[in-house]
Amino acid sequence: MNKKLNTAGFLLAATVVNIVLILVLALVVFVPYALLAARFVPGPVNMLVLLLILLGAMAGSFPLYRIMIELLQKSIDFDKYFDPIVKSRSKRARRD
């Protein structure tokens, strides 16, 4: 496999991992809320709480995702296996 295919595969896998991470965080908060408090709260408030749980799960997934990527970078040399997505301007200026 070449670097571009490795990069595409990594991005696809990282996206799936990030989505799963968001779902797990949302379920970890939503299930106890649904079992303990949802029946005592009116419907519109439950919708607002669900929205806040999803937004909180998205916000909480970013630091966890960053930590996972940093740990992966320590074990894998990204420069060796992956093509850079964004190239620096200084390198492009030298080639032109």
Residue 92: predicted pLDDT: 55
Task: Note whether residue 29 is domain-resident.
Answer: yes
Task: Note whether residue 50 is domain-resident.
Answer: yes
Asked if residue 4 has pLDDT above 70, the reply is yes
Per-residue pLDDT tens digits for 55-77: 999 999 999 999 999 999 899 88
Task: Note whether residue 8 is domain-resident.
Answer: yes
Can you spell out the DSSP letters for 58-77? Answer: HHHHHHHHHHHHHHHHHHS-
Task: Note whether residue 88 is domain-resident.
Answer: no
Task: Note whether residue 89 is domain-resident.
Answer: no
Q: Are 81 and 11 in contact (CB under 8 A)?
A: no
C-alpha span between 47 and 28 (Å, rounded): 17
Residue 31: predicted pLDDT: 94
Closest to 4 (Cα-Cα) out of 88, 81, 72: 81
Per-residue pLDDT tens digits for 5-57: 888 888 999 999 999 999 999 999 999 998 998 888 888 898 999 999 999 99
> Cα–Cα–Cα angle for 82, 66, 63, nearest 5°?
165
Task: Note whether residue 91 is domain-resident.
Answer: no
Task: Note whether residue 90 is domain-resident.
Answer: no
